[in-house]
A and B are shown apart, each in its own frame.
Chain A
Amino acid sequence: MSVLAAASTWAVALVLLVSGLSHARAPRSTRAALQAHGTLPSSAHRWLALVLGPVELVLAVGLLAVGLGVLGRPVVPVLGLGAAVLCLGFAAYLHVVRRRTVGQEVPCGCGLGTTPVTGWSVVRAGVLGVLALAAVVLPTGPWAAIPGAPVWAQVVVAAAGGLTLAVATAALPAARAVPAGLTTLTGAVR
């Protein structure tokens, strides 16, 4: 197992775990966000809001297992590609939403806080998609000791790196977004 593959896989898994739990707990919020986006047909909002959370949770648990090295080769590419398609699909969808709602502030519905859709929401989904592809491209499988790096050291580095990547990626839109009240005249009254 490559340290880079494990860290990338765990980063994607942790972000999907948090967003999956959020989507599974509050499908109504997801539905409201999809309605505000006005991009998909309204008939798809309900089932999409119900399905999204469980799908993310399944992928998250699977990717956590991939990072631990307990899943073999046939399953790993499926999970990695699944997560990559989901994240890159999000990126494409959010890009379309952003272009359709220029000048408006619409909720992201990403399950990762309450920041509106911005360019950084698209970047976050894209970064996660690329990280998920790492699980497909880089060597995976059981951990093995290498000279100068016992298994425990590799796992610690991968876990620390994965956690850092997950936090940095998930928090990126919120950290980069400047609240509208600071940059526009909204609410300024005579």
Chain B
Amino acid sequence: MSFTASALVLAFVAIALLALGLAGLLRQVSLLTQQLEGGAAAPHQGAGARTTRELVGFRVPGDLAAELVDPTARHTLLAFVSPGCSSCSLTLRALAADPQVADGSAALTLVSAGSCAPGLQDADGAGRLRCLPQGRTVMDRLAVPATPYLALLDASGTLRAALLPEEDTDLGGWLRQADTTLHQAGARPSTREDSPS
């Protein structure tokens, strides 16, 4: 190989490696800028988020994802509930009747502040149903402001939508809207994930 050819190959390899590094650094700067622009609402260590909605777009920690995300479903709907809460029962019944939840394309994971029995009874009919009892710590970590509260996770454990349901909330409509958002997010690579594989 001639001197010129060697120097060219060397330059190409070096430029490729430097470009990869620069792209990574730019992404870090972009994320940090987003956090700075978010001010106190940004979820970083120590500051904390005020509600789950401020955490949309962020990935739940691995240990939580293992407990909450159903890997076999397209996405997982988290329902934070408390035993003895009448609006929680209404919400769970409405969710269990939703076609997406009933056919199991959306897994339903209950996070109960106490025991699971009442919630599981209310959500009977859901295609994929699981429950995490004594979930106050999980609620605190996900900044759940009240019960009932709903959050939608995609298959990678990224929080895609959150909702504090009220009596007149159209849960089916919200699920369909969140599902559409999820499809759009799935069509383009997430800007908050980083892995060569």
Please name all residues of chain B whose beta carbon is closer than 8 Å to the beta carbon of A146 when the two chains form the complex: 2-3
Please name all residues of chain A whose beta carbon is closer than 8 Å to the beta carbon of B144 when the two chains form the complex: 190
CB contacts under 8 Å to B, within A89-122, are 102-104, 118-120, 122
Interface of B is mostly: helix
Docked CA distance A177–B55 (Å): 20
The answer to the question of B31 belonging to the interface, with a C-beta cut-off of 8 Å to chain A, is yes
Closest residue of chain B to A123 (Cβ to Cβ) is: B196
Please name all residues of chain B whose beta carbon is closer than 8 Å to the beta carbon of A179 when the two chains form the complex: 28
Cβ contact within 8 Å between A187 and B196? no
Please name all residues of chain B whose beta carbon is closer than 8 Å to the beta carbon of A178 when the two chains form the complex: 24, 27-28, 31, 192-194
Measured between C-beta atoms, what is the minimum distance from A120 to chain B in Å? 6
Closest residue of chain B to A139 (Cβ to Cβ) is: B1
Docked CA distance A150–B61 (Å): 57
- Which of B2, B11, B24 meets A176, CB within 8 Å? B24
Closest residue of chain A to B11 (Cβ to Cβ) is: A161
The answer to the question of B77 belonging to the interface, with a C-beta cut-off of 8 Å to chain A, is no
The answer to the question of B121 belonging to the interface, with a C-beta cut-off of 8 Å to chain A, is no
The answer to the question of A168 belonging to the interface, with a C-beta cut-off of 8 Å to chain B, is yes
Cβ contact within 8 Å between B28 and A3? no
Please name all residues of chain A whose beta carbon is closer than 8 Å to the beta carbon of B43 when the two chains form the complex: 185, 187-188
Docked CA distance A169–B156 (Å): 28
CB contacts under 8 Å to A, within B82-136, are none
Once A119-B195, A168-B21, A176-B21 are accepted as A-B contacts, the answer to whether A187 and B7 lie under 8 Å apart by CB is no
Measured between C-beta atoms, what is the minimum distance from B81 to chain A in Å? 17
Docked CA distance A127–B14 (Å): 11
Once A157-B10, A161-B11, A188-B48 are accepted as A-B contacts, the answer to whether A182 and B192 lie under 8 Å apart by CB is yes
Listed stretches B62-70, B165-173, B180-188; interface member = B62-70
Please name all residues of chain A whose beta carbon is closer than 8 Å to the beta carbon of B49 when the two chains form the complex: 185, 188-189
A182-B192, A188-B55 are known contacts; what are 16 more A-B pairs with Cβ within 8 Å? A7-B10, A118-B194, A146-B3, A165-B10, A168-B17, A172-B20, A175-B22, A175-B24, A176-B20, A178-B192, A180-B61, A184-B59, A185-B64, A185-B143, A187-B46, A190-B143
Chain B residues proximal to chain A, CB less than 8 Å? 1-3, 6-7, 9-11, 13-14, 17-18, 20-25, 27-28, 31-32, 35, 43-46, 48-50, 55, 58-66, 139-145, 159, 192-197
Report 8 cross-chain contacts, Cβ distance below 8 Å, ordered by A residue: A161-B7, A172-B17, A175-B28, A176-B196, A178-B27, A182-B35, A184-B58, A185-B159
Chain A residues proximal to chain B, CB less than 8 Å? 2-4, 7, 102-104, 118-120, 122-123, 127, 138, 146, 148-149, 154, 157-158, 161, 164-165, 168-169, 171-172, 175-190
